[in-house]
Structure 1
Amino acid sequence: MTQAPTAPIRYTPAVEQPEPNEAEVTRELVDTLHGIIETTYKDYGHAVRSVHAKSHALLEGTFEVLGGLPPVLAQGLFAEPGTYQTVLRISTNAGDILPDSVSLPRGMAVKVIGVDGDRLPGSEGDATQDFVMAIGPAFLAPTPAKFLANLKMLAKTTDRVEGVKKVLSATLRAAESALEAVGGESAMLKSMGGQAQTHPAGESYFTQAPLRYGDYIAKLSVVPLSPNFKALAGETVDIGGDPDGLRGAMNEFFGAEGGQWEVRAQLCTDLDKMPVEDASVPWDEEESPYIPVARITVEPQSAWSETRAKVVDDSLAFSPWHGLAAHQPLGGVMRARKPAYEMSSGFRGQHNGCPMHEPKSLETLPA
């Protein structure tokens, strides 16, 4: 096993340095997201998330914290070995529900159930820990202000003609492939429709922005562990003309096979090279590698169904601010997410007549 860094940076409130206009920017960001969710509600007659509206897999499983972790990694949820129930939601990042021929970056939201300890503000009385992740080790924008500028551009594409989006996505995928062929990569191209049509179960997912890791600071990742998940890494999914082809691929795979992902933590060892307030900077894995701290196991199951979506998509909310104080989200992008996620889940609860709830235990999800 890779050794943990010997001198990780200790968390103090001073690692966060909000911009003077952050509150104003955050209000505008929430308003922009509210505009997206209002638009899609008028279209569908049903409220969906303002980002990551379309789910491809809704999975139940177990979250096992590993034993024998060194003290710097035995923190918060990971302080003691144990096994918890978990719900996973795999999605794409748009605020509207698009055909899968519009290929966008994927996300994974993890809800660990039955977690005790001091809670983050707004999650008092809950017993869950959420980790919200996406493809790529860093966020698209460094700060809330840059995030807002990108979001306004993406908001303009909400509710536009799907045919145009399909053609644009195919063009952007070709451009991204050409860029990657010469060793490059563009998060912006991917976010606008240039994501490769790869299998979501073979992807690696990252918190992208940092969070408190007990006494320290970290980013987390979830990566394929079992051989069958690893074999899907980079594998293209042929969706044909199926607008929900990724759901079909996930149902086909998980209907026959289970598997494991590994949860890894990357500790901050240098605040200059591994900044808290600039979420767009990937932390150098040579300086501090991602180290295994837990495993997620899923058994064969129905990955997606309308009845399962009613439980997970309509009645559960995933937010990095649902959890332990030991895993407080850090940095401007994470701070801005708190009111944004609260607005989105509140809107869905009000308009769908199904208030969000945090489970204390998990009944088996419907097939």
Structure 2
Amino acid sequence: MTKPVRYSPDVEQIEPDEAQTLAELEEQFRKILDTTSSDYGHAVRAVHAKGHGLVQGRLTIAPDLPQELAQGLFGHSGHYEAIVRFSTNAGDILDDSVRLPRGIALKILNVIGDRLPGSECDTTQDFIMVNSPAFAAPNPKKFLGNIKLLAATADKAEAGKKLLSAVLRGFEATMEAVGTQSTMLTTLGGAKPIHPLGATYFSQTPFRFGDYIAKFSLVPIGDNAAFSDENIHATGRPDAIREDLTAGLLQAEAKWELRVQLCSDLEKMPIEDASIAWDETESPFQTVATLTVPLQSGWNYGSSEEAEDRLSFSPWHGLAAHRPLGGVNRVRQESYRHSAEYRSHFNGCPIHEPAHIGEVEF
């Protein structure tokens, strides 16, 4: 592999009107939150609103990693408690027959080290991923355009969304058959209805990786791999993903490898264009840890909803050694914080970062 690029602050290029874009993004997120909280009488997340599983797990850092991989959280072998949330990407609570991208969020507990701004008093490290290697927008302005579309359709005409999803899935399946994929079609409802335990997840956006720069991925291994070709059949089953996820988690221990892809060329692997998947032939993903989820129910009605209300996930919860990079990540910082504060205020439920797994009632 080509020698990885070393991190320096000048790898980021901030657009002169980025602050204005952020302000407009927060306005659109507010519209989504106002709409859904008014309709539900309860505030949910502005994106990835519907949780399908909330479980406890364990992250094991691989021993004897080479220097370029032994960075930040991964600098020493060891074990960490983890909270794992499975979701789909919409900002409203939809029937699972609407075919949306899968998401996974990890919260690693009791992580010690220099912290990111806004996370100084915490000891958590979050990783947020979806089952596509590229983000649906290259930069904050295009991201704003996508969020405007979501805000305009939040919690409206679910029957129409089901019909549109079926049509978009047909288009996307045709593209997949010839070896291509449309991130926009999958985002709008044309995603393949893959089982969450069989999905491969990607951070999509780049992060500082100690002395270097990287993207992250979670790849199913062991019994999880058996789900890689399994689809969720959701017709007439509005919560099919929760049901099938729990069934899978009660069958066998679930495992993923956490891998990193080091940036080896800033031209071919850009920091400011999140829509470009980095070429794995230029820099392959390499395993740095294993995530294990023991046998348990994926969702317990009542307690899971309450636990979700008290939790927030953000790429800006973590170590300075894993600072989010690029415009999309920069605007996510305040947008995610705003969404969490809105939920906390509307629901009258304080949100805080847990210090140990016993603080969360699954």
Aligned in 2, Cα 1:311/1:361: closer, same or farther, shift over 3 Å?
farther
Query: Secondary structure of 1:256's partner?
Result: coil
Superposition RMSD on alpha carbons, in Å?
1.1
Deviation at 1:116, TM superposition (A): 0.3
| Corresponding residue to 1:315 among 310, 317, 320 | 310
- Counterpart CA distance in 2 for 1:193 and 1:150 is 13
Query: Could you list the per-position Cα deviations for residues 296-320 of structure 1 after superposition, in whole angstroms to 9, with x for gaps in the alignment?
Result: 0011101012234234310010000
Give yes or no for contact 2:344–2:350 (8 Å, CA) kept in 1.
yes
The residue number in structure 2 matching 1:81 is 77
- Counterpart CA distance in 1 for 2:183 and 2:103 is 14
Greater Cα shift, 240-249 or 357-366? 357-366
Greater Cα shift, 336-345 or 176-185? 176-185
Aligned in 2, Cα 1:264/1:308: closer, same or farther, shift over 3 Å?
farther
Query: Secondary structure of 1:56's partner?
Result: strand
Aligned in 2, Cα 1:43/1:61: closer, same or farther, shift over 3 Å?
same
| Corresponding residue to 2:190 among 181, 187, 194 | 194
| Corresponding residue to 2:48 among 33, 52, 55 | 52
| Corresponding residue to 1:341 among 336, 339, 347 | 336
The residue number in structure 2 matching 1:259 is 254
The residue number in structure 2 matching 1:166 is 162
The residue number in structure 2 matching 1:271 is 266
Give yes or no for contact 1:131–1:319 (8 Å, CA) kept in 2.
yes
The residue number in structure 1 matching 2:290 is 295
**Matched ranges for 1:77-116 at <5 A:** 77-116=73-112
Deviation at 1:59, TM superposition (A): 1.3
The reply to whether residue 284 of structure 1 matches residue 279 of structure 2 is: yes
The reply to whether residue 37 of structure 1 matches residue 37 of structure 2 is: no
Give yes or no for contact 1:210–1:218 (8 Å, CA) kept in 2.
yes
**Matched ranges for 1:200-239 at <5 A:** 200-226=196-222, 228-239=223-234
- Counterpart CA distance in 1 for 2:16 and 2:59 is 39
| Percent of matched pairs sharing the same residue | 52
The one-letter amino acid paired with 1:106 is R
The one-letter amino acid paired with 1:153 is L
- Counterpart CA distance in 2 for 1:364 and 1:196 is 35
- Counterpart CA distance in 2 for 1:76 and 1:190 is 33
- Counterpart CA distance in 2 for 1:311 and 1:288 is 41
Deviation at 1:36, TM superposition (A): 0.2
- Counterpart CA distance in 2 for 1:366 and 1:323 is 22
The one-letter amino acid paired with 1:10 is R
Deviation at 1:239, TM superposition (A): 2.2
Give yes or no for contact 2:110–2:355 (8 Å, CA) kept in 1.
yes
- Counterpart CA distance in 2 for 1:309 and 1:359 is 15
- Counterpart CA distance in 2 for 1:27 and 1:106 is 27
Deviation at 1:160, TM superposition (A): 1.4
The one-letter amino acid paired with 1:304 is W
Greater Cα shift, 116-125 or 157-166? 157-166
Deviation at 1:365, TM superposition (A): 5.3
Deviation at 1:364, TM superposition (A): 7.7
- Counterpart CA distance in 2 for 1:364 and 1:306 is 18
The reply to whether residue 325 of structure 1 matches residue 323 of structure 2 is: no
Can you give the 5+ residue segments of structure 1 that lack an aligned partner in the other structure?
A: none
The one-letter amino acid paired with 1:143 is N
- Counterpart CA distance in 1 for 2:215 and 2:310 is 28
- Counterpart CA distance in 2 for 1:256 and 1:297 is 14
The one-letter amino acid paired with 2:57 is G
- Counterpart CA distance in 1 for 2:20 and 2:140 is 10
Aligned in 2, Cα 1:232/1:364: closer, same or farther, shift over 3 Å?
farther
Give yes or no for contact 2:2–2:282 (8 Å, CA) kept in 1.
no
How many matched pairs? 362
The residue number in structure 2 matching 1:123 is 119
Can you give the 5+ residue segments of structure 2 that lack an aligned partner in the other structure?
A: none
The residue number in structure 2 matching 1:11 is 7
- Counterpart CA distance in 2 for 1:275 and 1:182 is 26
